[in-house]
Amino acid sequence: MNIFAIKSDYSTNNLAYLIYFEKDKQFFIELPDNADPWETPIILSSFAERQEMTINSYWSKKWVQQRVVPIDRQNIGQILRNNDLKSYDEYKLLVLANGRCAQDDYYIEPIDEHALPSELTKRFRKKIEDMIPLGGGEYLIFFLCFYIN
């Protein structure tokens, strides 16, 4: 698990936290309880407005994809070679650029898991990722498991 603070050149606060699970190649974003929709990146601001502080893997990956060179870029092979990448990897491209994008002032900064606010570690103990109704009042429940010491 790799954890990054999402920051802005115009704020001293950590605006959000990006968590990447290498094994599953999945991204998740957590917003702090006091997230300001006006400060958070635009794709995350609607979640903050609705007080949805955990952004699922689909929308978290969309945020990442907005910050990296797209896989269908005309000269993607040359870009990968110039950065010593053997294949397209959104995570590696994100880290190479520190999450910077030419269209805004947000960036990522790696942090230790112990630097996460306690409000987030409390959330991790009780998150349901997805649920599928099986019928007859039964459900298949998928839990999002984080192990933070």
Q: How confident is the model over 9-62, as pLDDT tens digits?
A: 999 999 999 999 998 899 999 999 999 999 999 999 999 999 999 999 999 999
In a domain, 78, yes or no: yes
Does 112 map to a domain? yes
Residue 135 gets the label, from left (phi > 0), alpha (psi -120 to 50) or beta, of left
Split into its structural domains, the chain has a count of 1
Sign of CA pseudo-dihedral 49, 103, 107, 72: positive
φ and ψ at residue 3, rounded to 5 degrees: -120, 135
Specify if 149 maps to a domain: no
What's the CA gap between 35 and 118, in Å, rounded? Answer: 15
The residue with greater pLDDT, 132 or 5, is: 5
17 is in which domain, residue-wise? 2-143
The answer, yes or no, to whether residue 138 has pLDDT greater than 90, is no
Domain membership of residue 148 (yes or no) is no
What string of H, E and C letters represents the secondary structure of 109-122?
A: EEECHHHCCHHHHH
The confidence band for 75, taking pLDDT boundaries of 50, 70 and 90, is very high
- The answer to pTM > 0.85 is no
pLDDT at 144: 66
